[in-house]
Structure 1
Amino acid sequence: MEFKTKNCWEVYKSKKHVSAMDRLAQDYIEFLSKCKTERETVEFLAEKAMNAGFERGISSDRFMKTHKGKSLILVRKGRKKLSEGLRILGAHADTPRLDLKQRPLYEECQVSLAKTHYYGGIRKHQWLARPLALHGVVIKTDGTKINVCIGEDQDDPVFTIADLLPHLAYKQVEKKLSEAFEAEKLNVVLGHVPVAPSKEKNEKEKNPVKLGVLGILNQRFGIIEEDLYSAELQAVPAGPARYVGLDKGLIGGYGHDDRVCTFAGFRAFVTQEDPEFTQLLIIWDKEEIGSEGSSGAKSLFMEYCIEDMLDAWEPETRIRTVFENSRALSADVHAAMDPDYQDVHEKLNASLLGHGPVFCKFTGHRGKVGANDAHPEYVAWLRGILNQAGIPWQMAETGKVDLGGGGTVAKFLAVYGMDIIDFGPGVLGMHSPFEICSKADLYASVLAFEQFFKS
């Protein structure tokens, strides 16, 4: 009569499952270590999709389309008509980070630094005194795109943001956390060696260390300071993802939110064959700042793509009919109960690491403001397909009602009238530079997404 969640480690304890779980975890660690921006993620997945037989353009029954280099759609045509609906899984490839400002470079106290503007919901103090890498692109006026990645290779230097020493932090520690760390002081250290005085002028340069940094950038990438106005450069945690714990049951790294769902959704999608319903996997940008812009879930990228599908495959069907009959998952992570901060959770409605992916019926904050609230008929249907497949799952809220909240892409798909719910593995330290997830939850999430696509 009672319901109890199942521990994935007990469900998947056979040698076959353990071996498959370990292989999946290793692939995910390599993916997470390599793909630290939305552009890198989309490029990586697009290449994998083409290797799996997907083609650009809608002439094929298996096709893909990228948008602005930051969003990706993969479609596999099903046996049923589009008018009977799609199976849609949406995730996002962007993560909280520090973006370099439009004019970032300056020099102070014999140090060259870069100004940043944080992106998404970060806790600013977590980004101090840690190794950082620079990832991104610079676009020159002739359209040339220059890819930048500094700080990941073993021979590369890294960057950092210097923290204030405790000996002089007496006033700082007395401030509220929200006031103690100023966004305008999240400045990345780039260099220290000054250029030699100009022989022609026989005088010292005004900003010799900054000029030294510009010289290195010019030598390595062929860019000048003005090119940084048309650049997207991100300071992200340097170094690879790693196993956490003596038993290697956990995975630590930057960007589980939401690349764990991006990875799991893609792995589940590419294994499908001859589906009943047409399947659509979409990876969005800009979720961490409200899904804004031309590459976020508020854009019409997905809608335009489905219109193209209707024109090619089923012109007599109206797009609203497709949407109303579609079923979708907003594949996003959930805040697992933190052993040290259990008081911020309401334990009866909290999730545990290792007990499978988590349904979140609604997000938003306080009185469900800004939420998609999934209908019970849809929740029951999803319960049924997972229970039939023997896949562990949980249902939880983000935390105690009045302690905070957040949002996902779910409400932006719900406006079309389709059924949708948030569903993904739990994470500890969400939005930190080093998040933690369970490799058992990753494995169960892939299996769950496979069942959704097959349903």
Structure 2
Amino acid sequence: MSTDGLLEYLRESPSPFHAARSSARLLEAAGFQELMEIAPWEHQRGRYFIRRGGSLIAWSTEQAQLPSDGFLIVGAHTDSPNLRIKPRPDFARAGHQLLGVEVYGGPIINSWLDRDLGLSGRVVVNDGYLQRQERLFQVDDPILRVSRLAIHLDRSVREGEQFNAQQHLAAHWGLGSAPGDFAAYLASLVGVEPGDVLAWDAMTHDAQPPALIGRNQELLASGRLDNLATSYAATEALIAAVDQPIGHPGTRLIALFDHEEIGSMSERGAFSNLLMTVLERIVLTLGGNREDLHVALAGSIVASGDMAHATHPNYADRHEPQHQIAIDGGPVLKINTNLRYATDAVGAAAFKDACARAGVPCQEFVVRSDLPCGSTVGPMTAALTGVTTVDFGAAMLSMHSAREVTGVADQKMYAAALTAFLS
């Protein structure tokens, strides 16, 4: 895995739809073929992927011998917390043209204020023949901004800012007493008439590009590291693994899901039937049946990847003292007795073995016993498939900020561990 490759992936993936496209481009360059869900899959062994909105699943059956051979699966997610544009966003106030936004997921709101914001997503248009088409758009120019109130008008901000999402987060993008026309703006971006814009999934992103920072540039700062760093590592790991001999016959697969940050309850989230549908269709294309599917699942394992909390140097007391996590200290096993993470001893041993084979260290994260624990797609994947699942990540700071930070060396170890896991 190259650092330049990760930087490019982050730049090209401001939305989940773009992230799925970025992974698709890397896979196609490595000989993977895109399949359509609406068409029969009449292929045999090979390299394939499918996309459903901002989700992507890719796999190789080249070394599968029997339909009942198991799966080696790496999971991740493509979405990140941000501010998303409402369906009827245009209004004007105090001489400013504003866009109404809705908070997506759990962003650190104050990190999005007084920041240059771009715009990206997809728009559905009428193509002129009474058919609908999806088109992606990406504006990296700083066209939006949510401004703070000056401290002179609210001295209490020193004690912590309080926001009303309806009143205080509208994004201004122009001056004027009349509202702007967001639909017309989107139409100009994708090359259609304003009346042909039917709907959109539009979201903001930090307009500052990803960068290497620090005295020796050993840190990487960017938006959406949670969880595009994992999506990129998983994609590169699959590409590297398919050309290596596998420890046991089976299908190697990555599943990059949308909507993790809001609970995964959608047609393309980890709580949907997307993964199980693909697994069943793979078994069928290998000449198997439902019995072969269940045998294959019993012999499978999932590594669920989501970024992990590094021990913060300014808030070390917020971390479990016996489980300190270092940036550039290697991949992080994520463990929680109440199964907010899916890791158990069997899964942990398998992931530690992969790290050992990759020649990289492995860290173990446990949240403080007096703090709540976050979660991932791991537990729901384990529950829906019945497959042993282990949760892991790469260490980072400022998770859910508009701009996060991780270690450069960690990303290479991350991809190496996943390659070993898939091999």
Structure 1 SS opposite 2:6: helix
Corresponding letter in the other structure for 2:276: E
Q: Name the counterpart of 1:108.
A: 93
Once residues 417 and 144 of structure 1 are traced to their aligned partners in structure 2, the CA distance between those partners, rounded to angstroms, is: 37
Please state if 1:55 is matched with 2:17. no
Q: Which has the higher mean CA deviation after the structures are superposed, 377-386 or 25-34? A: 377-386
| Aligned 8 A contact 1:33 1:239 in 2 | no
Equivalent of residue 406 in structure 1, options 374, 384, 387: 374
| Aligned 8 A contact 1:217 1:223 in 2 | no
Q: Which has the higher mean CA deviation after the structures are superposed, 229-238 or 285-294? A: 229-238
Q: Name the counterpart of 1:149.
A: 138
Structure 2 SS opposite 1:323: helix
Structure 2 SS opposite 1:64: strand
Q: Name the counterpart of 2:314.
A: 340
Q: TM-score, normalized by length of structure 1? A: 0.83
Equivalent of residue 186 in structure 1, options 143, 161, 169: 169
Q: Which has the higher strand share?
A: 2
Give the 3 Å change call, closer, same or farther, for CA 225–119 of structure 1 in structure 2: farther
Q: Name the counterpart of 2:38.
A: none
The root-mean-square deviation of aligned C-alpha atoms, in Å, is 2.1
Q: Number of residues paired by the alignment?
A: 404
Larger radius of gyration: 1
Once residues 321 and 215 of structure 1 are traced to their aligned partners in structure 2, the CA distance between those partners, rounded to angstroms, is: 53
Corresponding letter in the other structure for 1:407: S
Structure 1 residues without counterparts, runs of 5 or longer: 1-20, 195-206, 363-367
Give the 3 Å change call, closer, same or farther, for CA 219–386 of structure 1 in structure 2: closer
| Aligned 8 A contact 1:82 1:278 in 2 | no
Give the 3 Å change call, closer, same or farther, for CA 249–140 of structure 1 in structure 2: same
Runs of 4+ with >6 A deviation: none
Structure 2 SS opposite 1:264: helix
Q: Name the counterpart of 1:445.
A: 414
Please state if 1:427 is matched with 2:396. yes
1:215 deviation in Å?
5.8
Q: Name the counterpart of 1:117.
A: 102
Once residues 352 and 73 of structure 1 are traced to their aligned partners in structure 2, the CA distance between those partners, rounded to angstroms, is: 31
Q: TM-score, normalized by length of structure 2? A: 0.89
Please state if 1:324 is matched with 2:301. no
Once residues 163 and 411 of structure 2 are traced to their aligned partners in structure 1, the CA distance between those partners, rounded to angstroms, is: 34
- CA offsets per residue over residues 156-198 of structure 1, 9 Å max, x none? 4421101100000124555x65xx1111121111111x4xxxx
| Aligned 8 A contact 1:64 1:72 in 2 | no
- CA offsets per residue over residues 418-438 of structure 1, 9 Å max, x none? 111111211100010110010
Please state if 1:353 is matched with 2:323. no
1:50 deviation in Å?
1.4
Please state if 1:43 is matched with 2:26. no
Corresponding letter in the other structure for 2:301: R
Equivalent of residue 72 in structure 1, options 43, 56, 65: 56
Once residues 307 and 33 of structure 2 are traced to their aligned partners in structure 1, the CA distance between those partners, rounded to angstroms, is: 29
Please state if 1:286 is matched with 2:259. yes
1:105 deviation in Å?
0.9
| Aligned 8 A contact 2:17 2:136 in 1 | no
Corresponding letter in the other structure for 1:208: A
| Aligned 8 A contact 2:76 2:256 in 1 | yes
Give the 3 Å change call, closer, same or farther, for CA 443–220 of structure 1 in structure 2: closer
Q: Which has the higher mean CA deviation after the structures are superposed, 38-47 or 384-393? A: 384-393
1:61 deviation in Å?
2.3
Structure 2 residues without counterparts, runs of 5 or longer: 36-40
Equivalent of residue 312 in structure 1, options 285, 292, 307: 285
Corresponding letter in the other structure for 2:313: P
Equivalent of residue 11 in structure 2, options 23, 33, 53: 33
Give the 3 Å change call, closer, same or farther, for CA 343–226 of structure 1 in structure 2: farther
Once residues 67 and 429 of structure 1 are traced to their aligned partners in structure 2, the CA distance between those partners, rounded to angstroms, is: 30
Structure 2 SS opposite 1:94: coil
Equivalent of residue 270 in structure 1, options 239, 242, 261: 239
Once residues 309 and 350 of structure 2 are traced to their aligned partners in structure 1, the CA distance between those partners, rounded to angstroms, is: 24
